[in-house]
Amino acid sequence: MRRRALARVLAALVLVGGLAACTGIHGRQDRGPTLAQAGGWRWDYLSADSFDLATAVKPYSPGPGPSGDVLTVYIEGDGMAYLTPSQPAMDPTPTDPLALRLAMAHPGGGPVAYLARPCQYVMETRPRNCQVGYWTKARLAPEVVDSASLALDRLKADAHAQHLVLVGYSGGGGLAAVLAERRADVAGLVTVSGNLDFGLWTRTLDLTPLSQSIDPVTDAARLSHLPQVHFVGADDKVVDGAIAQSFVAHQPPDAPARIITIPGQDHGCCWAASWAALSRRPEMAAIPGWLP
């Protein structure tokens, strides 16, 4: 039993850390900017309180209709948190910017932006306040949430939008949920393999508690009136369906939250390849401004 439990923990940490990505760890600082710029997106950095955060913004020209009222922001996952189960990475930049790939496949016609997590894509040039804790125990510390919220303010102002739809992948789903719980301008929440209950997640996989982080499930009831869609992979061994179920169960029974389980889907591959179809599912009509 101990060997099986240890194997599961090792596998989970390797996946969360990004070591399973076939692209490898070398050159990952350039993958986000290169991908964004190849698609015509503007890559930039925002000085947002405690951190400098990498962003990408889709070119957008307002047209007739209300679509520009809502800015959709995709939030990256935890990236490479660990090199081995006991050794944190010195740079949390993901080997594959999956949330950016999702953003670039977004189906709607309104403004879209991407937000990286603290210390991703900046360690070589602007590692301000970057400490290992911010991608291990403190990955959702109050100052992390405050920095992301300030970045959202600036992205929203630049887009001349009034409301936000937040889309978070993996740990970015947890950050998106916490932001939605604390802001009055979030019109919808979408998570993809979202880590939405840190306590349950660390207990299930026997991991070190995220003791310096805000747990998204704590204030889940604040989202009782917010349209939500939570995608989970049927074969996800890192963040399984019980996490989303727990998050939704902490809300009133009539909360407008849907859980969609995708057969054959694991934690990483192949959300981005499937997003063009998944993002057009009928359940997504509940998310304001999602489709043109």
Tens of pLDDT along 187-204?
Answer: 999 999 999 999 999 999
pLDDT value at residue 41? 97
Query: Cβ neighbours of residue 151 under 8 Å, at least 6 residues apart?
Result: 46, 48, 53, 55, 115
> Is the alpha carbon torsion for 201, 203, 208, 211 positive or negative?
positive
Contacts for 243-248: CB closer than 8 Å, 24+ residues apart = 243/194, 243/195, 243/196, 243/197, 243/200, 243/201, 244/191, 244/194, 244/196, 246/196, 246/197, 246/200, 246/217, 247/177, 247/194, 247/196, 247/197, 247/216, 247/217, 247/220, 248/220
pLDDT value at residue 1? 38
pLDDT value at residue 109? 85
Mean of the per-residue pLDDT values for the chain? Answer: 90
Superfamily holding 2-286: Alpha/Beta hydrolase fold, catalytic domain (3.40.50.1820)
pLDDT value at residue 63? 57
Residue 139 has pLDDT above 80, yes or no: yes
pLDDT value at residue 290? 94
Tens of pLDDT along 40-80?
Answer: 999 999 999 999 999 999 998 665 554 579 999 999 999 99
pLDDT value at residue 248? 98
Tens of pLDDT along 241-276?
Answer: 999 999 999 999 999 999 999 999 999 889 999 999
Residue 11 has pLDDT above 50, yes or no: no
pLDDT top residue among 102 and 127: 102
pLDDT value at residue 142? 98
Task: Please state the pTM of the whole predicted model.
Answer: 0.92
Tens of pLDDT along 21-42?
Answer: 434 666 889 999 999 999 999 9
Mean pLDDT, rounded, for 92-112: 95
Residue 16 has pLDDT above 50, yes or no: no
pLDDT value at residue 208? 87
Distance CA 135, CA 88 (A): 8
- CB burial of 70-109 (b: ≥16 within 10 Å; e: otherwise) equals bbbbbbbbbbbbbbeeeebbebbbbbbbbbbbbbbbbbbe
Q: Which residue has the tokens 């880590």?
A: 195
